[in-house]
Structure 1
Amino acid sequence: MSMLKRNEVPVEETWNLNDLFSSEEAYLEAIEEMKQLVEISAKQLPGTITDAKGAIAAIEATEKIQLKLVPIGTYASLSHSVDQTNTENQMRSAQFGSLAASIATKLSFVKSDLLALDEAILKEAQLLNPSYENYINKLLIQKPHQLHPEAEKALAAFGATFNAPYELYNTTKLVDMNFPNFEVDGEQFPLSYNLFEGDWELETDTKKRRAAFDAFSSKLREYQHTTAKTYNTHLKIEKTDADLRGYETIYDALLESQQVDRSMYDRQIDLIMNELAPHMRRYAKLLQKTHELDKMTFADLKISLDPSYEPTITVEESRQYMKDGLSIMGDDYIKMIDRSFDERWIDFAQNAGKSTGAFCSSPYGVHPYVLISWTSRMNEVFVLAHELGHAGHFYLANDAQNIYNARPSLYFIEAPSTMNEMLMANYLLQNSTDARFKRWVISSIISRTYYHNFVTHLLEAAYQRKVYDIIDAGGNVNAPKLNELKREVLEQFWGDTVEITEGAELTWMRQPHYYMGLYPYTYSAGLTISTQVSQRILNGDESAVGEWIEVLKAGGTKTPVELSKMAGVDITTEQPLRDTIAFIGNLVTQLEQLTEELQTV
């Protein structure tokens, strides 16, 4: 059995990109219209950005271009993400990268001229048009790090080139890397990135699961040096940019846009590495005992605590779970969920060349799009709830804010998504008294919500910090060094509870987040916030949901600290994180008790 090609999957399992552009011709027409807008701005704006009025006119002009650019870029990106083997998709994506770089080059003078203005003039501009206050505040933060206009223009021209490492990574992973079948007891089984991460990692047959892990790791290993060189190139680009702009460290450069300081970043990693580890080791031991495994290996960590119980679920059944589980968010939110199914905002199909994992893209002025590869496992309820959390966030923020104000800090971005996972879990727990079902839900919260966000991504963050320390000191990394660093982090967290199997050190090759700055740690940051807010809701705080909706509508008009405060959480202290770790520990204890009860029945 081989993976279906994109043109072989049922159309109802795919998303409808016609809401972006009705045809390829319409897409190309939009590009021409945007080019005309760019040419007009490039001719009319130079020399006019000298006072507050001129500043506002320039921001308005570039806003119109952004509104045109977003759906064009989204169309190119989403087309490519569902089939990266398709030559037309590859070329469209590459052409958009070149187009975006060309536009950035022609209009780089706008930002340079704005930042050349006195602070007093920019403050006056904020008074002239308060809707741009947030945008101008962010400009003021960047002001000390702005280069000479000609230097900025040159860097803008290299935009597509600077994005090349990420494109190379995806091409290696999803186009060049073809996995052969693997064999267990004389039987052949198919293997691909999506099949491994969606099925084989969760496989209950230990021989098949471990054989799949070995086969998967073997193929990764063949590409480790190319992937490491690609990653090192990306890191050097980030380091060079940080140095050119006069940042003291690469961390300062990457955290500036997140609107948090280094202490909040380090705290998230250090506390979880040290204080969550004992709870997760207990969970690993529970898995080993329940499955009667000879030893607990890295390849066994994703298995279900009670695999014989996990039900399957169809796409249509998942709709009702979304509506019931998230109904507390209100009627408008549920209408958004219905629309996402009825209007095909979601791509469920499994096909060759499709991006791994799941994500939500939320183009301003259209509607969100969700990518997921549906396996019919019940845990997909949590994955889909997560991505619809992103969708709901930007559905509300895009409606309430202008394009410059809609997107919040990366630090906060995962709070709405993980919030939905918590609401779904709470709903499932409240609607059953069956001990086995309750155990399945709690184990899903740990294995899906907390393991994925608080462990998998946090371990990525701890590893990423080691990498950036080397780069910041002027060093480089290669495959052996990256393998060494990843193994160090895994061994530190799991201790002697889990055998870090050969191949586990290659896990760094699987995550695209490393090409997105300091992203991995933000999952645990967001989940810390959402855990605390969901507890407010669960404990009957009648104002919690309404406050959370207002937080979502606020978009990027406030910092992560301010958004969290709106939701009743103070992330300037370590208490919310400590409370969340204690909450996870309590869940593990409940699992241990429920397992013991079920075994004595």
Structure 2
Amino acid sequence: MAEIKQLPKRSDVPVELTWDLTTIFKDDRAVKTAMTQLKVGVQAVLTQQGKLQDSAQNLLKVIQDELNVQNQLEHLFVYAELKNDQDTGDNTNQGLKDQITGLVAKASAQLAWIEPEILAIPNQKLTEFQNNESELKPYEHFLAVLRLKKDHVLSAKEEAILAGASSIFGSSEKVFGILDNSDLKFPFVKNSAGQTVQLSQGMYSTLLQSTNQVVRKQAFEQLYAVYEQFRNTFAATLSGEVKVHNFNAQIRGFKDARQAAMSENAIPDAVYTNLVTEVNSHLDLLHRYVGLRKKILNLKEMHMYDLYTPITGKSPLSYTYQKAQTEAKEALQIMGDDYVSHVDEAFKNRWIDVVENQGKRSGAYSSGVYGTNPFMLLNWQDDLDNLFTLVHEMGHSMHTYYTTHNQPYQYGDYAIFVAEIASTTNENILTSYLLDKYDDPQIKLYVLNHYLDDFKGTVYRQTQFAEFEQFIHEADAKGEPLTAEMMSNYYGDLNHRYYGDAVINDDQIKSEWTRIPHFYYNFYVYQYATGFAAASSLANGITTHQAHARENYLNYLKSGSSDFPLNVMKKAGVDMTRKAYLEDAFAVFEKRLNEFESLL
């Protein structure tokens, strides 16, 4: 009888392959102590309510005390989030997350008066405060960002109500997460070796890369058979999330949810519309690539499940996690010794939760909190794609490391808009490294294929997601019900427009929206595409050793939120308000597509 491979329980995962969360809190007692200290800190801030206009010193004290409370909140929240994600089926972890989420909501409500009270200070008086109190200078940009919100911040009482309801507003995303990561039960399927394996999010992506179309088809159909059973439930959770976004935008006086989301980082609408326009004007390149894929794979019919298998067949490169660490450090050596030394820290000091286990959150991410090391979640599989994932998440973690070690707490984070640039710059650097390292045409073909697929999956696919996201928000704002059938029909048509006639628009793909967690992130996905395009330009400067390219890039990593995101990127060498960086990215895609065709 063939061996059945099942995911290990969390308790069976070797310790060295798990992250060490004791750098946040040593033990449960430390967590409880932090929760008590948080409540004391909140009460101390509350005693200062109504006194901000009295003096510059009062303003300074409230800002410093409130930021300290925020840092405490983040430690608790990130810890609870990471504990829950390592095993979403663990009731203790779920309980801790619920408890801390409630604590965060309560504390946020209690401190909701601060922003309105600061914004109530007349501009002239605030300027006098800043001129007369030198210790306010480090908070100059912090206050400037706050002033931009003036037209959209409500009264202290209204802000307190909204902050108190934050855990309620997050219910849809929470339900989706539990259902998607814990409650859905996937069947057993056959892999390329004929082994019976349990289907999971991580295993699904591996099976879609199989060179055996029967394996790909089986994984595709079995996965969507599970999701389609619950598509009405997923429609309800997504509809609820969209309503929250639109509600918040409306009561704060924004024209729509997209403007509300982008205003957080002072991103003009042109950045979004330029992306959608440029991607749609270059769909011919995607159609050409999809057609080439069908021809080379010699498929009479090409389906959506055929879009991820390497055109050149089985990968000539595979990586155990240990081998991937060595390759990652070699590829990133171009970033300098200091950068690589911190990468080595991540590997040696258990910053990474490596392997998939029962109940573990799907996918991969980098997280962290000011004052600790970054943390990475992986669901490792021994293939090239996972090496790219490792390097991608390491880009995020190094961004976090350099920011937190070069900025004070108030600027010790960075906007989502610039976050994906660090990760995809690393991916582009790895692509160039592999193409330079290997002369074997088969390896070059495989790496080029991987790059083309990555571009397809990031620039094209994420923009497709952005268009769907825009559609469902607009539909809800018009009062149209977001039913499963309505969203599926639109998604199916959108998918056909993007991939063209060379691929059969399988019925199952209409339900893809049911399994995309990023639709709950409020206009997040477009930033993957803009980030990849900007990263293409930055990586090119670094790999071709252009003057100051690496220095400017490292300064971007160190900038945190000390300036507006677009300004940070301009200093790094990319103006994202213009179309040029997008045109450059498509030029690289076309060049590598031509190179791929020539090698074939």
TM-score range, shorter-chain basis? over 0.9
Q: Distance in 2 between matches of 1:523 and 1:33?
A: 38
Structure 1 residue 413, shift from structure 2 partner? 1.6
- Residue type at the aligned position of 2:392: H
Structure 1 residue 143, shift from structure 2 partner? 0.8
Q: Distance in 2 between matches of 1:578 and 1:393?
A: 26
Are positions 1:535 and 2:535 aligned together?
no
Structure 1 residue 469, shift from structure 2 partner? 1.8
Identify the residue that residue 232 of structure 2 maps to in structure 1.
225
CA contact (8 A) 1:49 1:58 kept: no
Q: Distance in 2 between matches of 1:475 and 1:118?
A: 42
TM-score (norm: length of structure 1): 0.95
Q: Secondary structure at the match of 1:503?
A: helix
**Structure 1, unpaired ranges of 5+:** 596-601
Q: Distance in 2 between matches of 1:183 and 1:190?
A: 6
Q: Distance in 2 between matches of 1:319 and 1:568?
A: 30
Identify the residue that residue 24 of structure 1 maps to in structure 2.
28
Structure 1 residue 270, shift from structure 2 partner? 2.2
Q: Distance in 1 between matches of 2:34 and 2:414?
A: 27
What pairs up with 1:76-155 in 2 under 5 angstroms? 76-127=80-131, 128=133, 129-155=136-162
Identify the residue that residue 362 of structure 1 maps to in structure 2.
368
CA contact (8 A) 2:152 2:254 kept: yes
Identify the residue that residue 293 of structure 2 maps to in structure 1.
287
Identify the residue that residue 598 of structure 1 maps to in structure 2.
none
Q: 1:319 aligns with which of 317, 320, 325?
A: 325
Identify the residue that residue 468 of structure 2 maps to in structure 1.
463
Identical residues among aligned pairs (%): 25
CA contact (8 A) 1:416 1:552 kept: yes
What are the Cα deviations for residues 541-595 of structure 1, in whole angstroms up to 9, with x where unaligned?
Answer: 1310001101111111222321221122222221110111121111111111111
Q: Distance in 2 between matches of 1:498 and 1:591?
A: 20
Residues 495 and 58 (structure 1 numbering): CA distance in 2 closer, same or farther, change over 3 Å? Answer: same
**Structure 2, unpaired ranges of 5+:** none
CA contact (8 A) 1:119 1:140 kept: no
CA contact (8 A) 2:119 2:147 kept: yes
Q: Secondary structure at the match of 1:289?
A: helix
Q: 1:519 aligns with which of 524, 540, 560?
A: 524
Structure 1 residue 144, shift from structure 2 partner? 0.9
Identify the residue that residue 555 of structure 1 maps to in structure 2.
560
Q: Distance in 2 between matches of 1:131 and 1:467?
A: 41
Q: Distance in 2 between matches of 1:427 and 1:16?
A: 31
- Residue type at the aligned position of 1:209: R
Q: 2:421 aligns with which of 415, 423, 446?
A: 415
Q: Distance in 2 between matches of 1:513 and 1:20?
A: 26
Structure 1 residue 155, shift from structure 2 partner? 0.9
Q: 1:330 aligns with which of 312, 325, 336?
A: 336
Structure 1 residue 477, shift from structure 2 partner? 1.0
- Residue type at the aligned position of 2:407: Q
Are positions 1:37 and 2:41 aligned together?
yes
What are the Cα deviations for residues 285-338 of structure 1, in whole angstroms up to 9, with x where unaligned?
Answer: 232223222211111111112232332211111111121111111111111111
Q: Secondary structure at the match of 1:235?
A: helix
Q: Distance in 2 between matches of 1:526 and 1:184?
A: 34
Q: 2:302 aligns with which of 284, 296, 307?
A: 296
Identify the residue that residue 266 of structure 1 maps to in structure 2.
273
CA contact (8 A) 1:415 1:527 kept: yes
Q: 2:444 aligns with which of 424, 438, 441?
A: 438
CA contact (8 A) 1:310 1:377 kept: no
Structure 1 residue 262, shift from structure 2 partner? 1.3
CA contact (8 A) 1:236 1:471 kept: yes
What are the Cα deviations for residues 470-503 of structure 1, in whole angstroms up to 9, with x where unaligned?
Answer: 1233433121111112112111111101111111
Q: Secondary structure at the match of 1:400?
A: coil
Structure 1 residue 49, shift from structure 2 partner? 4.6
What are the Cα deviations for residues 83-124 of structure 1, in whole angstroms up to 9, with x where unaligned?
Answer: 101101111111111000010111111222112211233334
Q: Distance in 2 between matches of 1:565 and 1:212?
A: 44
Residues 125 and 584 (structure 1 numbering): CA distance in 2 closer, same or farther, change over 3 Å? Answer: farther
Q: Secondary structure at the match of 1:569?
A: coil
Structure 1 residue 218, shift from structure 2 partner? 0.7
- Residue type at the aligned position of 1:415: I
Moved more, 535-544 or 480-489: 535-544
CA contact (8 A) 2:202 2:379 kept: no
Structure 1 residue 238, shift from structure 2 partner? 1.3
TM-score (norm: length of structure 2): 0.95
Identify the residue that residue 236 of structure 1 maps to in structure 2.
243
Structure 1 residue 188, shift from structure 2 partner? 7.7
Moved more, 536-545 or 78-87: 536-545
CA contact (8 A) 1:389 1:418 kept: yes
Identify the residue that residue 496 of structure 1 maps to in structure 2.
501
Identify the residue that residue 568 of structure 1 maps to in structure 2.
573
Q: Secondary structure at the match of 2:76?
A: helix
What are the Cα deviations for residues 11-32 of structure 1, in whole angstroms up to 9, with x where unaligned?
Answer: 1111111111111111111111
Q: Distance in 1 between matches of 2:237 and 2:540?
A: 42
- Residue type at the aligned position of 1:534: A
- Residue type at the aligned position of 1:82: Q
CA contact (8 A) 1:285 1:296 kept: no
Identify the residue that residue 342 of structure 1 maps to in structure 2.
348
Identify the residue that residue 77 of structure 2 maps to in structure 1.
73
CA contact (8 A) 1:102 1:157 kept: yes
What are the Cα deviations for residues 517-542 of structure 1, in whole angstroms up to 9, with x where unaligned?
Answer: 11111011111111111112233313
Q: Distance in 1 between matches of 2:274 and 2:463?
A: 12
Q: Secondary structure at the match of 2:113?
A: helix
Structure 1 residue 6, shift from structure 2 partner? 1.1
Q: Distance in 2 between matches of 1:533 and 1:460?
A: 25
Are positions 1:385 and 2:380 aligned together?
no
